[in-house]
Amino acid sequence: MQAAEWARDITDILHGQDEQGALERLARLQPFDRAQVLAHMEPQDRLRLVRSMPVPLAAETLEYLEPETQYRILDHLDEPRAAALLQGMSSDTVVDLLLALHPLQAARLKAWLPPAYRERIDTLMTFPENTAGSLATIEYIAAREGWTVQQALDHVRKVGHDAEVVSYVYVVDARGRLVRVASLRELILADPHAPLTSVGRADVITVRATADREEAARLLTDYDFVALPVVDDQHRLLGIITIDDIVDVIHREATEDIQRLGGSVPLAESYFKTPVPMLFRKRVGWLLTLFIAGAYTSTVLHHFEGLLAQVVGLTFFIPLLIGTGGNTGSQTVATLVRALAVGEVTFRDMLRVLAREVATGALLGAVMAAAALIRAYMLGVGHQLGPVVAVTALFIVVWASMVSAVLPLLLHRLRVDPAVVSGPFISTLVDGTGLFIYFSVARALLNLS
């Protein structure tokens, strides 16, 4: 909104041949806003401004743009400037950009980086997308074991401009192993002449580069850190994960879980960036699977055709009873999938969860049985079918509670994302089994065969 207006204003200034004025307006903005403004401008205007911006300012702005926009800009600049910008960007952004590009484009950009930096980027690029290593950035401040507090602070002053986070100084030994961490606050509050090893703490909370990114998120949020060091198997410091990247991870994981729970494969892009054929592809698989799984409802109904012909009234309650089962399952699954995701529940809680859900299901089932009974009388078939639908409602609700208590935990145990046990999945499962319960109860209570 505001960014679009600013973009118009700045474009007007630029077109009025006051490039300096336009640059000054831009420079006053926050980096995020500046990026938004550039994203709203015409490519040639945007390029003209990026060409004239001081390199640190331009690099900082580029950080907030999408990889495709970053590439389009870098691709149109002359090589020394593009190389300077790329080196000015933080390493995790560079990694994301390189991974988003065609390998040939990526190779061209990488050639602009100094060899030592390129090597570290290559290491970070080897970690698969869901690992802690994939989130790491190398712009941290490292200090040597033998230094004093003053030496460390001088070092912060010297390299602090390029660091992502200056809140912590990581102390490494001669082999690059992380031996200590001190916060900037601790350094400032300490005696400048004290040895660095007297400040901060030696038992540093770290995450392995190969660990799941959710593990990193859990550590950062539990301990309220703003950055978490990432180490390799030899405890050598590879990089740090900053809290803002973790916030993105938490957002993304929640989005994926919600889309899975809705019965769709998670979208890789935001909603409007996903074209209709892709929306179709993400949904059709599950929809067809559920259709095929649900097809046996027809078999059950076909099997009980005689019963249905004898007592036509039974048909009236089919959608209502199986729908209630599906709804119950959907409630339970959503609660448990989330509890699993945030680590409140694990597989070892199975029996406890089952007991709780069966108890809750029994209470809910009793209420739904009463509702079903009332509904049968309202339809004028209460005398004949009331007991059948009431007993069925109770059984179906308890059954749905059991299924949806066990399945998410089981899948979590099998390392399948439990969110694939979506509401639609449980509904479909309960539809067929629910019908079977219904007709069995009907047969027993109505003394039919």
The rounded distance, in Å, linking the Cα atoms of 439 and 196 is: 77
Among 77, 99, 100, 243, binds a second copy (CB under 8 A): 243
Task: Report the residue from 98, 178, 246, 421 that binds a second copy according to the rule CB under 8 A.
Answer: 246
Stretch that binds a second copy, among 119-127, 170-178, 231-239, 262-270 (CB under 8 A): 262-270
Draw the binding track, 155-194, toward a second copy (x: CB under 8 A; -: no contact): -xx--xx-x--xx----------------xx--xx-----
Instruction: Tell me whether residue 107 or residue 189 sits nearer to a second copy (CB atom).
Output: 189
Site for a second copy in 376-395 (CB under 8 A): 379
Size of the residue set binding a second copy (CB under 8 A): 113
- Cα maximum dimension of the chain: 95
Contacts to a second copy from residues 194-223, by CB under 8 A: 203, 205, 220-223
- Of 30-49, which residues contact a second copy (CB under 8 A)? 30-32
Q: Select the residue interacting with a second copy from 276, 383, 414, 449 (CB under 8 A).
A: 276
Q: Does 139 bind a second copy (CB under 8 A)?
A: no
CB of 1 to a second copy, least distance (A): 10
Residue 41 or 249: the one with the smaller Cβ distance to a second copy is: 249
State both tokens at 221.
């949020």
Q: Binding mask 279-298 vs a second copy (x if CB under 8 A, - otherwise)?
A: xx--xx-xxx-xxx-xx-xx
Residue 55 or 295 having the CB closest to a second copy = 295
SS3 sequence of the chain: CHHHHHHHHHHHHHHCCCHHHHHHHHHHCCHHHHHHHHHHCCHHHHHHHHHHCCHHHHHHHHCCCCHHHHHHHHHHCCHHHHHHHHHHCCHHHHHHHHHHCCHHHHHHHHCCCCHHHHHHHHHHHCCCCCECHHHCECCCEEEECCCEHHHHHHHHHHHHHHCCCCCEEEEECCCCEEEEEEEHHHHHHCCCCCEHHHCCECCCCCEECCCEHHHHHHHHHHHCCCEEEEECCCCEEEEEEEHHHHHHHHHHHHHHHHHHHCCCCCCCCCHHHCCHHHHHHHHHHHHHHHHHHHCHHHHHHHHCHHHHHHCCHHHHCHHHHHHHHHHHHHHHHHHHHHHHHCCCCCHHHHHHHHHHHHHHHHHHHHHHHHHHHHHHHHCCCHHHHHHHHHHHHHHHHHHHHHHHHHHHHHHHHCCCCHHHCCHHHHHHHHHHHHHHHHHHHHHHHHCCC
Residue number, 103 or 285, with CB nearest to a second copy:
285
Binders of a second copy among residues 67 to 126 (CB under 8 A) are: none
Instruction: Check residue 254 for interaction with a second copy (CB under 8 A).
Output: yes
Site for a second copy in 317-376 (CB under 8 A): 317-320, 322-324, 326-328, 330-339, 342, 344-345, 349, 352, 356, 359-360, 363-364, 367-368, 371-372, 375
Minimum CB separation of residue 210 from a second copy in Å reads 20
97 or 164, CB closer to a second copy?
164
Q: In the complex, what is the shortest distance from the CB of residue 221 to a second copy, in angstroms, rounded to a whole number?
A: 5
Q: Interface with a second copy includes 10 (CB under 8 A)?
A: no
Q: How far is the CB of 359 from a second copy (least distance, A)?
A: 5
What binding mask, one character per residue, do residues 396-415 give for a second copy by CB under 8 A, x or -?
Answer: --------------------
